[in-house]
Structure 1
């Protein structure tokens, strides 16, 4: 009585090649010890959370973030559900559009938005003017070669 096993295409080809070379080879259900050390492929989607409804990708269009080590063409992965802001880069809605700023506390506990360029004045985050924090930058993805 014969038994059948339906295999994926790659497994079927590998089995055919092995049986052509070694007709007496018996394929068992035990995996190779090398499989214990095998690593899964790196998935940027899983690593950064892309695809979740609260995680957005943003592309940098100018050189205004060089002071933060972020360059034109870099991608920012922004978490819109993050709530911890201290010492984080955030995307905020200022009068002239969305900008990236660093949130830092002063000696009295107030939060300030600092720009990458020290010439740009700081803005108080928890002051009288309401400033919308659109999200927290959780990753910077840079292209290092083309």
Structure 2
């Protein structure tokens, strides 16, 4: 895949085509988005709890199991048998949403909790993809 390194504004300005004269970067999307291929998986966000950090319903999440989670990282975790995407508050043992309407969740000693990986990137699709449908 060829990448055109341009800065584009959202407005219509009448400038000539940015592809008229461009240089190609020698990389593909895997190289650009994935740091540890053997430890990375892609998930799909569901819900509105992470909108405050730019993750919206239907976004793709690139999750790296190799990265050590740190305070305030966006993580994917198994919490009592449910996969969740939350901000990790290590100091207070909380799972935080990035939506003020949703209350923090305490990670108690009796809870089943495991971090599946750190969300290192998210991708928003602006048109539905038949490969990503829930059918």
TM-score, structure 1 as length reference = 0.59
- Report 1:16-95 matches (<5 A): 38-49=23-34, 52-95=37-80
Cα distance in 1, alignment partners of residues 115 and 80 from structure 2? 13
Count of paired positions: 106
List runs of 5+ in structure 2 lacking aligned partners: 1-21, 129-135
Cα distance in 2, alignment partners of residues 122 and 61 from structure 1? 17
From the two aligned structures, give the one with the greater helix fraction.
Answer: 1
List runs of 5+ in structure 1 lacking aligned partners: 1-36
RMSD after superposition: 2.8
Contact 2:49 2:102 in 1 (8 A): no
Q: Look up the match of 1:104.
A: 89
The ranges of structure 1 where at least 4 consecutive aligned residues each deviate by more than 4 angstroms after the TM superposition are none
Q: 1:102 Cα shift?
A: 0.4
Contact 2:64 2:118 in 1 (8 A): yes
